[in-house]
């Protein structure tokens, strides 16, 4: 008797408690996409371009302001945006 009563209570609670269907909302996915674009841009800028002569090492091109400063800053910013997008609470909750 006790077991059947407990099963009925569990079945009753299943029907009345709402179930979360999505972990992230639409806004979370949008911020994740923005973060991915910023990350991609940072990696693209860090990669730079192809050298005209592969036998010549051009220090101005390798150690340029874009590759040393801007690209890593964009990568860090992209990761920060991704973390915020994951941690941001969904508005529907």
Closest to 86 in 3D by CA, of 39, 16, 35, 17? 35
Residue 50 banded pLDDT, cuts 50, 70, 90: confident
- Say whether pTM exceeds 0.95: no
Instruction: Return mean pLDDT, the chain.
Output: 82
Q: Taking the domains of the chain in order of start, what are their residue ranges?
A: 21-87
What does the pLDDT look like over 63-88, one tens digit per residue? 889 999 999 999 999 999 999 999 98
Residues 6+ apart with CB under 8 A from 80: 35
Q: Which residue has the tokens 């991915």?
A: 36
Residues 6+ apart with CB under 8 A from 59: none
């Amino acid at each position: 008797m006790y077991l059947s009563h407990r099963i009925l209570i569990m079945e009753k609670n299943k029907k009345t408690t709402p179930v979360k269907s999505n972990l992230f909302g639409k806004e979370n996915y949008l911020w994740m996409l923005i973060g991915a674009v910023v990350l991609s841009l940072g990696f693209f800028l860090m990669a730079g371009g192809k050298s005209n002569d592969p036998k010549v090492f051009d220090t101005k091109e390798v150690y340029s302001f874009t590759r040393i400063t801007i690209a890593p800053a964009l990568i860090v910013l992209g990761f920060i945006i991704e973390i915020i997008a994951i941690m941001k609470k969904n508005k529907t909750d």
